Chain A
Amino acid sequence: MLHLIIFSVFGIICVAGAVNLLVQRHPINSALSLVVVMGSLAVEFLLLGAEFVAAVQVIVYAGAVMVLFVFVIMLLNAGEEERTRGSQVALLFGIPGVLIGSLLIAWVLVQSGTRSVAVGALPGPPKTIGWLLFHDYLLPFEVTSVLVLIAIMGAVVLASPQESAQEKRRHG
């Protein structure tokens, strides 16, 4: 019972945050809504017994990635969106497509009638996750670390300020 209440409350907060992201015109508002979403998702993870993932969600996702977003918004001084004419296709095909897709999935899910999930604890200590990471999933782990390295380098190169022609001549 409590399970259901907590799930519903934080589920509603999640959806509200997501809808708010769509509705807001200023990107900073959208970013903060997204943080709300991530926070409530962390609680959902806890309900499902994934403490480690919840922690990583809050620390990495909400704490690092969103902060990065906010920094960029402030750096670029993004203002409110103008209402320009966009793509008709997106509105015409995309939104109905999304609706149809999600309705279909929802219908399938409701039909299949799954059994309930208990408010669970991790089926094992967090040590197990570590074990999995460094044994069964070692290769993806290492590849992902290389990926992150590349991303860092790419970000540095792309975002570094470009020298103007004068500076080039001066450095010569």
Chain B
Amino acid sequence: MVPLSYYLVLGGILFACGVTGFLIKRNIITIFMSIELMLNGVNLSFVAFAAEWHALSGQVFVFFVMVVAAAEAAVGLAVIIAVFRTRETLNVDQVNLLKL
């Protein structure tokens, strides 16, 4: 019998790894993947609570999260391709034209 908090801690660890990856990685695709990792962690929390409270709404919500994540990934990668075409680089530190 696994306590709920174990699942939540696991979800939290995944989320923390995702944020850390977002902060320390320089390749923009890797940053995107970190975002996906964050979303996965959140999904785990949702499902855990759905199991805890016997509410199927949690799982429905996870379904929606996945759909939105997919749409976001598609658009985001298209943007990355467009940026790559103009800037010839995938290094996010070099996409800094908005600096003051």
Residues of A at the B interface (CB closer than 8 Å) are 3-4, 7, 11, 14-15, 18-19, 21-22, 27, 30-31, 34, 37-38, 41, 44-45, 47-50, 52-53, 56-57, 60-61, 64-66, 68-69, 72-73, 75-76, 78, 81-87, 90-91, 94-95, 98-99, 101-102, 105-106, 109-110, 112-118, 120, 122-124, 128-129, 132-133, 136-137, 140-141, 144, 147-148, 150-152, 154-159, 162
Contacts and interface: CB of A to CB of B under 8 A. Distances in A.
Contacts of B2: 3-4, 7, 47, 116-117
Contact of A98 (B4, B19, B30, B32): B19
Interface in B22-76: 23-27, 29-30, 32-34, 36-37, 40, 43-44, 47-48, 50-52, 54, 56-57, 59-60, 62-64, 66-75
24 contacts: A15-B14, A18-B17, A18-B37, A21-B21, A22-B21, A27-B33, A34-B37, A37-B14, A45-B47, A50-B62, A60-B70, A72-B80, A73-B29, A82-B91, A86-B24, A87-B93, A98-B23, A105-B12, A110-B5, A115-B3, A117-B3, A117-B48, A148-B71, A151-B75
B95 interface: no
How many residues of B sit at the interface, in one of the four size bands? 35 or more
Given A14-B10, A37-B37, A94-B23, 19 more contacts: A18-B18, A27-B29, A78-B29, A91-B23, A110-B9, A112-B5, A115-B3, A116-B3, A117-B7, A117-B48, A120-B51, A133-B60, A137-B60, A151-B71, A151-B72, A151-B75, A154-B78, A157-B78, A159-B78
Contacts of B67: 60, 144, 147-148
Which 5 pairs, one residue from A and one from B, show the smallest C-beta to C-beta distance?
A: A151-B71, A116-B1, A158-B78, A155-B78, A114-B4
B50 to A, nearest CB: 7
Nearest to B15: A102
A159 B29 CA distance: 15
B70 A64 contact: yes
Contacts of A49: 51
Contacts of B40: 37-38, 41, 61
A99 B15 CA distance: 11
Contact of B82 (A47, A65, A73, A158): A158
Residue in B2, B13, B37 with the greatest tally of chain A CB atoms within 10 Å: B2
B56 A158 contact: no
Contact of B1 (A4, A76, A150): A4
